[in-house]
Amino acid sequence: MDARQAYQELESWSKQIAILGSIGGMLGWDQRVMMPPNATAHRAEQFATLSAIIHQRATDPRIEELLAIVEQSDLVKDPESVEVVNIRQWRREYDHATKLPLELVVEFRRTTALAEKAWEEARAKSDFSLFQPHLEKIVPLVREIAERYGYEREPYDALLDEYEQGMTAQEVDTLFAPLRAKTPELVAQIQSAPRQPNTPILHRHFPQAEQERFCRLIAEAIGFDWNSGRLDPTVHPFATRLGPGDVRITTRYYEDFLSPALFGTLHELGHALYEMGLPTEYYGTPMGESTSLGIHESQSRMWENFVGRSRAFWEHFYPIAQQYFSALHDVSLDEFVFAINAVQPSTIRVEADEVTYNLHILLRFELELALMRGELKVADLPSAWNERFKAYMGFEPPNDAQGVLQDVHWSGGMIGYFPTYTLGNLYAAQLFEQAERDLGDLQAMFRKGEFRPLLEWLRTHIHQQGKRYTAKQLVERVTGKPPSAEPLLNYFQRKFGTLYS
């Protein structure tokens, strides 16, 4: 068989798996948005059957033969070619799918399924002891998975690499160091500032129907295409691409709090625009996929915070918002912009403001690293959490439900995931700075309701690149510098310096 043929066979294998995966995505969207509660058991069977089919195809021994052919051919000569990208990623995906023995995969699934149930109960009762024995099983399992995948320096690298390809614990630690050094002081300055925002104005009455209409208006103005997507209400907001021409986003509405729907929509919109901008001609192959969770998060954070929480954005949208919401009639633009940008240390990560959010991530990253390095016992996790939380935020969480038990990630065995949130913030700041350099005064554009130039810039430099580069390479190519915390810290200084005087 010649290499071209082998490549084409790999391509159709890849596309088939992507299509099967998108059927799973459809089932998942339905489960979270539409499905009646009594369908749960049958839906679980649908998922199990589908994932067995996908696993079987993903580990087909024939793929090893095909990869061996293309890897020794002329197809891999040009390091920038689409073929090289796809072959590299197929090799990685195939190795990952085949490196774990079936018993380990089954054991991991069973353990995490039980752990998630136990975690729900533990969180509801704020009782870590209910979750502890489960996490004590998960940590060694995750370590074994890391050993099987392989790493150069330490097990955590293998876990992180699953979510942020090519990034190591040491690199993340170095990247985060300036945030660790400077954020607590910035927060203290903000807290002692004489000028403080009037946040109760965001907790007046905002009817859901109006919120929905307003969120749609914003999504459309920025570039969401209703012929290629949907926006629906849900409990836990998410974005999912079911395939070319079908990207779904969700948000949640509280009639006594405007921010979640508004900024939740903008956040998921950012994810959706990335998915909508991926090169359709490569659908089903790595070249047609997003490059990393960190880059994905950079897109959501950019639209949510750098655009959606800017004064310029609201200079355009606030008069419209006032027409939609009678509760805002007596609230000035400045008052509103200040309120949506309030910085206040709090216990819950998902409710955190732009500045303190990264402290929540630093805390989790450091604890995960200590767990994986064997420096911290699961039993000591709650006290370690509270201690570090106090060092960063200045107070201790009142209980474990609002502390160590608040996130679902660890119960699902997702160790190494958290850093991608802050990486997303760092990348967003660095990319936004470059976009401003390339495009000129973005704020002036936002003031006029012009978002197209920024979106086009992102399409060209980020979305259209698919998986051609790792996050690190992509950021360096686009901005001329390796990822760094400096642009984010500068942005914080400028923005919050102005807001809080």
Catalytic residue ranges: 268
Shortest distance, position 297 Cβ to Zn ion, whole Å: 5
| Cα–Cα distances in angstroms (integers) from residue 254 to residues 212, 260, 345, 401, 460, in the given order | 11, 7, 22, 22, 36
Alpha-carbon dihedral angle through residues 450, 464, 268, 354, given to the nearest 10 degrees = -80
In this structure, how many other beta carbons lie within 10 angstroms of the beta carbon of residue 101?
11
Shortest distance, position 302 Cβ to Zn ion, whole Å: 11
Shortest distance, position 48 Cβ to Zn ion, whole Å: 27
Cβ-based nearer residue to Zn ion, 272 or 381: 272
Sign of CA dihedral 147, 22, 235, 200: positive
Is residue 282 within 8 Å of residue 232, measured between CB atoms? no
Cβ-based nearer residue to Zn ion, 397 or 483: 483
Q: Which residue's CB atom is positioned nearest to Zn ion?
A: 300
Token pair in block for residue 43? 């839906």
Q: Helices 419-439 and 354-372: crossing angle, nearest 10°?
A: 140
Shortest distance, position 298 Cβ to Zn ion, whole Å: 10
Cβ-based nearer residue to Zn ion, 210 or 407: 407
Q: Which of residues 368-397 bind Zn ion (CB under 5 A)?
A: none
Interatomic CA distance for residues 383 and 255, integer angstroms: 36
In this structure, how many other beta carbons lie within 10 angstroms of the beta carbon of residue 42?
10
Shortest distance, position 432 Cβ to Zn ion, whole Å: 16
Q: Where are any strands of DSSP class E within 109-238?
A: 229-233
Token pair in block for residue 457? 């810039």
Shortest distance, position 494 Cβ to Zn ion, whole Å: 24
Shortest distance, position 14 Cβ to Zn ion, whole Å: 26
Q: According to the binding rule CB under 5 A, does residue 420 interact with Zn ion?
A: no
Cβ-based nearer residue to Zn ion, 134 or 301: 301
Shortest distance, position 314 Cβ to Zn ion, whole Å: 22
Shortest distance, position 240 Cβ to Zn ion, whole Å: 12
Interatomic CA distance for residues 60 and 62, integer angstroms: 5
Cβ-based nearer residue to Zn ion, 67 or 167: 167
**Residue 400 has what DSSP assignment?**
S
Token pair in block for residue 74? 């002329």
**Residue 213 has what DSSP assignment?**
H
For residue 17, give every residue at least 6 positions away whose Cβ sits within 8 Å of its Cβ, in sequence order, or none: 54, 57, 58, 284
Interatomic CA distance for residues 83 and 74, integer angstroms: 10
Sign of CA dihedral 308, 312, 315, 320: negative
Site track 432-471 with Zn ion (rule: CB under 5 A), x = hit:
----------------------------------------
Cβ-based nearer residue to Zn ion, 272 or 474: 272
Closest CA to 417 of 264, 291, 305, 294: 294
Cβ-based nearer residue to Zn ion, 237 or 284: 237
Interatomic CA distance for residues 435 and 58, integer angstroms: 39
Cβ-based nearer residue to Zn ion, 179 or 428: 428
Sign of CA dihedral 324, 326, 329, 333: negative
3-state per-residue secondary structure call for 108-126: HHHHHHHHHHHHHHHHHHC
Residues in the chain: 501
Cβ-based nearer residue to Zn ion, 149 or 417: 417
**Residue 233 has what DSSP assignment?**
E
Give the interface size with Zn ion as a residue count (CB under 5 A).
1
DSSP H stretches of helix in 223-353 = 259-277, 293-301, 311-324, 333-340
Phi then psi dihedrals of residue 482, to 5 deg: -65, 160
Shortest distance, position 35 Cβ to Zn ion, whole Å: 23
Interatomic CA distance for residues 378 and 381, integer angstroms: 5
Instruction: Tell me the one-letter amino acid at 446.
Output: F
Q: Which of residues 293-332 bind Zn ion (CB under 5 A)?
A: 300
Interatomic CA distance for residues 498 and 198, integer angstroms: 16
Cβ-based nearer residue to Zn ion, 237 or 397: 237
Site track 260-299 with Zn ion (rule: CB under 5 A), x = hit:
----------------------------------------
Q: Which residues bind Zn ion (CB under 5 A)?
A: 300
